[in-house]
Amino acid sequence: MKRAKAPVEGTVKPAAYRKVLVEKRENVMAGLGIKFDTLAKMGRVAEEDRAQLSHDEFVSLRLNRLDYVQLKLIEEALDRIEAGDYGICMSCEEPISAKRLQALPWAKYCVTCQQSLANLQDDARVSGKPPAGTQDNW
């Protein structure tokens, strides 16, 4: 991937974003640990409580999946910092605005490319065919 010039206004400083990403990674991982501990400590439950427990487990697993997706995005952003590509859109290779990175430090795409990707995904949902290589993109 070629490296684009850093934006003139609001220059991206990877060290500051690294700190934010590491803190967010620690929070997500701690949250996952708490959820697993809570489920593990439940032990045996009365038959009349099993439906509620099944529902709680389903919700917990769904939230865990979302946490794992976010954790993956955070790890990828940290890898881009190491590689020197952080803050560069993976589609158009232009700088991602500092404002977007402040709001979403693991962003892979600039706002324009992310919107185009979202439109492709919406079109694919309508047609029933997923576009290639568009899973887990934020």
Q: Which CATH number characterizes residue 71's domain? A: 1.20.120.910
Number of structural domains in the chain: 1
Q: Is residue 136 part of a domain?
A: no
**What pLDDT score was predicted for residue 4?**
45
**What pLDDT score was predicted for residue 135?**
53
| pLDDT tens by residue, the chain, 138 residues | 444 444 434 566 888 899 999 999 988 888 777 655 555 555 666 666 666 666 666 666 677 788 889 999 999 999 999 999 999 999 999 999 999 999 999 999 999 999 999 999 888 777 766 655 555 555
Phi, psi dihedrals of residue 95, rounded to the nearest 5°: -65, 140
**What pLDDT score was predicted for residue 82?**
94
**What pLDDT score was predicted for residue 66?**
84
Q: Is residue 7 part of a domain?
A: no
Q: Is residue 117 part of a domain?
A: yes
Pair 90, 1: CB distance under 8 Å: yes
Q: Is residue 137 part of a domain?
A: no
Q: Is residue 132 part of a domain?
A: no
Q: Is residue 58 part of a domain?
A: yes
Q: Is residue 28 part of a domain?
A: yes
- Domain range for 78: 14-127
pTM check: above 0.75: no
